[in-house]
Amino acid sequence: MDTEKRTQHLAERLGYIRDVFGGKHNENIALLESKLQEFNLRLSEGSISDENAALTTLEDLFDFVERKLEAELTPMDKVRIVRHPQRICLRDILENVYDNYTEIGGKDEHSIDPSMLIARAYITRRSGKKTINQPVLVIGQEKGHGEEFRNGGSVKPWGNAKALQYMKVAETEGIPIHTYVFTPGSYPVEDYPGAAQQIARNLYEMAGLRVPVIAVFSEGGSGGAEAIGLSDRRLMLSHGYYSVISPEGAAAIEGRLRHGQRAAPELIEKCAQQLRITAEDNLRMGYIDHVVTEPPLGARPYHYDFFRGLRQEIIRATDEVILGVKGFAPFRAMVLRRRRGKAETMDLDNMYVRWSLSSSAKDRLVSRRHRKFNRLARNAARDRRPVLRKLSNMGWDAWWDIYSYFKYDLLRKHQQKIAYLVEEVEAEAQVLMEKVAAPWRKITCALPGGACQSSEQTERELTTLSDWDEEGQRNGNWSYVSPRAKEDRAITCPNADSHGCLDLWAPDLFGEFAGVCTYCGHHFPMEYQWYLHNVFDEGSIFEFNAEIEAGNPLGFEGFDVKLEQAKKQTGLKSGCVTFEARIDNVKLVVAMLVAPFRGGSVGAAEGEKFVQAAERAKKKRYPFLAYVHGTAGIRIQEGTNGVIQMPRCTMAVRRYIEAGGLYLVLYDTNSYAGPLASFLGCSPYQFSIRSANIGFAGPGVIKETTGVDIPPDYHRAYRALSRGHIQGIWDRRDARMNLKQALLTMGGRNLYYR
Amino acid sequence: MFDITQLLDEIKASPYEEIVVAAPHTGVVTFADVREGSRVIGPSGTWKEKKGTLLATIERERNQKPIHAVEKGEVKEVLRHLEGTFVEAGTPLVRLRHFLSKDEVLAIILKKALHLFVAPERAKYYFAPDVDKKVKASGASSVSLHEGMDLFIMSRMKREASLAYSGPSGVIYAVYFQHNENVDAGQPLIGVCPPDQLSLIEDVVARVQTEWEERE
């Protein structure tokens, strides 16, 4: 390398250090700068005798300072590292880790979404004298060293849809998938397929993908990361971050900032610290399986040793997953078990593991993935159940397993066979009887007062209007009346200007009218108790797992107090209430996200309760209703403990649906972000009460990230319906009837009452 | 025939529109912090989603209802003696002076000077082929209209019908519809003016465009 190039390279390294530390460690930077300047000066004067030696000394100094600064990296510095344009990106990995690759569906900006890169790649390995090319599908966000059109790796919904499409291709072809997460978060637009709904779809499909998936995290920003991050092995680069929200976003929430105000750098730094976003933290909490060490201050495209190491790790991870489900391969498994850290005994390029699986191995792979995620974050929620209760619950669980096996699997199968046979015979007989009896009926009908004269009752039913109010409406006699109905005041409907609604008297509005404007049908939000009392059968609610409590697993400063306040105010232990109830004597399991409890945000406790509710519904063959009174997203103060609930709960839902259940989602007030982008959005039956706002990110966040103003009704339920995100909108007063209808007609081949 | 220059002079003499903000219903009035002479703004934002300046609140049955300015302008009078009193619906509360903008002045003038031919029903409208040719070749003002001539093709859900012009003879001065876009019933399609007034109107419009001072 000639001198000019090498000095240029050093200047770039210096710029990188300066950017990363953003004003800290100035003395070190000044030292490097002065040394570099001095060298340049002497070079131009021609006073250096041995350019090469001097440059090498200077490079050594750079190495030394980089190593020294490495030890002092704070989490926020790491955030700046992964966002730096000089950081490695997916294209560098494709160039240096894989032996060959072809990009699919895009070349630079000519792509449906340039921030999502998909490639067919292969890795060449040797087995003895044979060379074998092992194909993989590589999917990941591409930041492109700051290329404008890459949008910083912020993937639009259609980019995620493309990723899903090719995951399915890989599944058909039976090749492993390597995903690389380089995203600050998903691009929050609602245009079809919709940011949240598409991520939910991705999660749902990935939960059942029948090929090994290996994920490597560099920048794991919340929902965007989850869209491709659900995998059998999760590796993480040592300078990466994996978090529920960007530190700036967390600071904006913590500092209660509004309308684009900037948070103070100290607050951002503190949030980054408290969110536990680094690789070590995530490894300790178990959300990452292994950390891939990077060179000091993070990998850049010229760190070829790093790419070699990454290649080994990727191969190792894929081999481990394959051999883990494949059966007998003792020697190769031993090589893999010889842990990293120790001197590498064998280059994995020289060992061959066929990356394809038999059908039964694929089953094992998927069930292992489910078990892996099910174990995560169990300890992050406080389970206050006494030991005896836990034991008895376990006993009941086991009993239900056995009971439903006999009742639904064993007995019902045979019963069904006989029942089908009887049905067939009956139908045949019916047709025969019709034929035989037809002449006789003709004669009797012709006689006056014959059997086929229509009765008065049917005549009235056919000729008069039915009364809409008859049963569902209860004539306004609801069994729960909101406390707001006790105030003597008038309320103005927000549509009064456009629809000319007159003022409504609060006792009427929140009492008899069930919070619905009688002029325009606008739905005022109601308390969750209203639904508990008016939707389900009287006295049928039986809560379970009430003792599982929301905690503060990260020890987030000041959060304990806030949590205590929420518990005191609502009288609940967490934002998710799970119970069994009946609607018109059909038993069902309900998981309810309650808006007054910290905005209905989902953390480890809520996730755990949701998963257990789904399991319970599965065991008992009950329908499962997720009633979302309101949710603001994942609880950011729990960091990755919260984010991991997205794949976790989605997998639980998938298990439930695959077992033949009916999973219904009913949105009520404001439903946003993570939960919507996972276990709620993946339901094929999502309905909404008219009062709902449904979306991925709120208006403020959209404005900030996309710079586009959004119309005031952007998130309204009707817009969500037009975009195809939900399947229907219900009047609040009809919720019970519609639910009843849904329970009887939708989904589920394996429900107890069918 | 009316005198267009006189109309312009009239507008110039009083270049504003007076808006009376009245109580929407009965209630007790509390005025906001607005004084005579202060500026107020109307609804703003891309979708007019931000309300205008708060002028007063009116309370009835413990329901405080804000009253906002609907147009930008200057407060001419605040009826302060009503502060804290119970008023009937329709009682004037604030008088605003809204200064006309160029577009508003032009709208007033053209509304009086032109004959507007309106869409009989909601549909897409196109010029008839021979008219269309003329419009494309030498502009809409080259088309002279007379009663009963075939002027439009009205297209609704792929069914087309021709539409004849009715009204005074003249030339097309303004075209208000867009190609391939639906026009609601009652919306103007074209504005027609007598040929002898064409130059006069053009002159006035040019004058308004150059001379009219927009006041805040």
Q: Quickly state the pLDDT bin for A407 (edges 50, 70, 90).
A: confident
Just give the CATH number of A528-745.
3.90.226.10
Q: Cα(A711)–Cα(A705) distance, rounded to whole angstroms?
A: 16
Nearest C-alpha of chain B: how many angstroms from A245?
29
Mean pLDDT taken over chain A: 90
Q: How far apart, in Å, are the Cα atoms of A38 and each of A30, A47, A54, A735? A: 12, 11, 11, 77
Q: Which of A484, A486, A488, A489 to mutate to test the interface with B (most CBs of B within 10 A)?
A: A489
Residue B203 has pLDDT above 60, yes or no: yes
Q: Quickly state the pLDDT bin for B2 (edges 50, 70, 90).
A: low
**Is A745 exposed, middle or buried (CB count within 10 Å of its CB: 0-12, 13-18, 19+)?**
exposed
Q: Quickly state the pLDDT bin for A333 (edges 50, 70, 90).
A: confident
Q: What is the pLDDT of residue A2?
A: 82
Nearest C-alpha of chain A: how many angstroms from B197?
41
Q: Encode pLDDT of A438-460 as tens digits.
A: 888 888 877 766 556 667 888 88
With CB atoms and an 8 Å threshold, state whether B62 touches A491.
no
Q: Which of A503, A504, A702, A716 to mutate to test the interface with B (most CBs of B within 10 A)?
A: A503
Q: Cα(A441)–Cα(A703) distance, rounded to whole angstroms?
A: 72
The three-point CA angle B104-B107-B110 to 5° equals 150
Pairs across A and B, CB distance < 8 A:
25
Using CA coordinates, name the residue in chain A closest to B27.
A490
With CB atoms and an 8 Å threshold, state whether B62 touches A711.
no
Nearest C-alpha of chain B: how many angstroms from A697?
19
Residue with tokens 């096996």: A405
Partners of A699 on chain B (C-beta within 8 Å) are none
% of chain A beyond a pLDDT of 70: 96
Tokens of B209: 């465009």
AA letter at A492: T
Q: Which of B47, B50, B64 to mutate to test the interface with A (most CBs of A within 10 A)?
A: B47
With CB atoms and an 8 Å threshold, state whether B46 touches A711.
yes
Least confident of A38-42, A465-469, A662-666: A465-469
Per-residue pLDDT, averaged over A135-162, amounts to: 93
Residue B16 has pLDDT above 60, yes or no: yes
Q: What is the pLDDT of residue A339?
A: 60
Least confident of A25-39, A258-272, B86-100, B113-127: A258-272
Q: Encode pLDDT of B103-127 as tens digits.
A: 888 888 888 888 999 999 999 999 9
Using CA coordinates, name the residue in chain A closest to B63.
A490
With CB atoms and an 8 Å threshold, state whether A503 touches B45.
no
> Measured between CB atoms, does B68 come within 8 Å of chain A?
no
Partners of B25 on chain A (C-beta within 8 Å) are 503
Partners of B62 on chain A (C-beta within 8 Å) are 487-490
Helix axes A90-97, A304-326, angle to 10 degrees: 80
Q: Identify the bridge partners of residue B49 per DSSP, sorted by sequence position.
A: none
> Which residues does A contribute to its contact with B (CB < 8 Å)?
487-492, 503, 505, 709, 711-712
Partners of B47 on chain A (C-beta within 8 Å) are 711-712
Please state whether beta strands B39-40 and B73-78 pair in parallel, antiparallel, or not at all (unpaired). Answer: antiparallel
Residue A627 has pLDDT above 70, yes or no: yes
Per-residue pLDDT, averaged over A21-47, amounts to: 87
Closest C-alpha among A576, A696, A551, A610 to residue A200? A696
Q: Which of B25, B28, B46 to mutate to test the interface with A (most CBs of A within 10 A)?
A: B46
With CB atoms and an 8 Å threshold, state whether A489 touches B45.
no
This prediction has a pTM of 0.89
Per-residue pLDDT, averaged over A603-631, amounts to: 94
Q: How far apart, in Å, are the Cα atoms of A311 and each of A259, A314, A591? A: 44, 5, 43
Q: How far apart, in Å, are the Cα atoms of A231 and each of A208, A220, A289, A614? A: 10, 14, 11, 21
With CB atoms and an 8 Å threshold, state whether A503 touches B63.
yes
Q: Quickly state the pLDDT bin for A290 (edges 50, 70, 90).
A: very high
Q: How far apart, in Å, are the Cα atoms of B15 and each of A311, A552, B74, B108, B204? A: 77, 65, 13, 12, 16
Residue A397 has pLDDT above 90, yes or no: no
The three-point CA angle A116-A117-A119 to 5° equals 150
Q: Quickly state the pLDDT bin for A469 (edges 50, 70, 90).
A: low
Q: Encode pLDDT of A60-71 as tens digits.
A: 999 999 999 999
Contact between A211 and A170 under an 8 Å Cβ cutoff? The reply is: yes
Residue A304 has pLDDT above 70, yes or no: yes
Task: Write out the E strands in A65-150.
Answer: 100-104, 106-107, 110-111, 116-127, 130-141
Q: How far apart, in Å, are the Cα atoms of A454 and each of A451, A463, A732? A: 8, 12, 37
Q: Quickly state the pLDDT bin for A265 (edges 50, 70, 90).
A: confident
To which H or E segment does residue A415 belong? Answer: helix A412-446
Q: Encode pLDDT of A219-258 as tens digits.
A: 998 888 999 999 999 999 999 999 998 888 888 888 887 7
Residue A637 has pLDDT above 70, yes or no: yes
Contact between A243 and A221 under an 8 Å Cβ cutoff? The reply is: yes
Domains detected in chain B = 4-99 (2.40.50.100), 104-211 (2.40.50.100)
Q: What is the pLDDT of residue B216?
A: 64
Phi, psi of A416 (to 5 degrees): -60, -45
Tokens of A659: 């077992």
Phi, psi of A127 (to 5 degrees): -130, 105
Q: What is the pLDDT of residue A342?
A: 56
Nearest C-alpha of chain A: how many angstroms from B167?
35
Least confident of A101-105, A304-308, A318-322, A381-385: A381-385
Residue A8 has pLDDT above 70, yes or no: yes
Q: What is the pLDDT of residue B150?
A: 92
Per-residue pLDDT, averaged over B27-43, amounts to: 92
Q: Cα(A96)–Cα(A90) distance, rounded to whole angstroms?
A: 10
Contact between A72 and A87 under an 8 Å Cβ cutoff? The reply is: no
C-beta atoms surrounding A527 within 10 Å: 19
Interacting residues of B51 by C-beta distance below 8 A, sequence separation 6+: B43, B66, B68
Task: Report DSSP letters for chain B, one per residue.
Answer: ---HHHHHHHHHHS-EEEEEEE-SSSEEEEE-S--TT-EE---BSTTS-B---EEEEEEETTEEEEEE-SS-EEEEEE-GGGTTSEE-TT-EEEEEEEEPPHHHHHHHHHHHHSEEEEPSSSEEEEE-HHHHHHHHHH-GGG-EE-TT-EEEEEEETTEEEEEE--SS-EEEEEE---TT-EE-TT-EEEEEE-GGGHHHHHHHHHHHHHHPPP--
With CB atoms and an 8 Å threshold, state whether B60 touches A489.
no
Residue A420 has pLDDT above 60, yes or no: yes
Residue A334 has pLDDT above 80, yes or no: no
Name which CATH class applies to A82-375.
alpha beta
Nearest C-alpha of chain B: how many angstroms from A489?
5
Dihedral of alpha carbons A70, A73, A76, A77, sign: negative
Per-residue pLDDT, averaged over A163-191, amounts to: 94
> Measured between CB atoms, does B51 come within 8 Å of chain A?
no
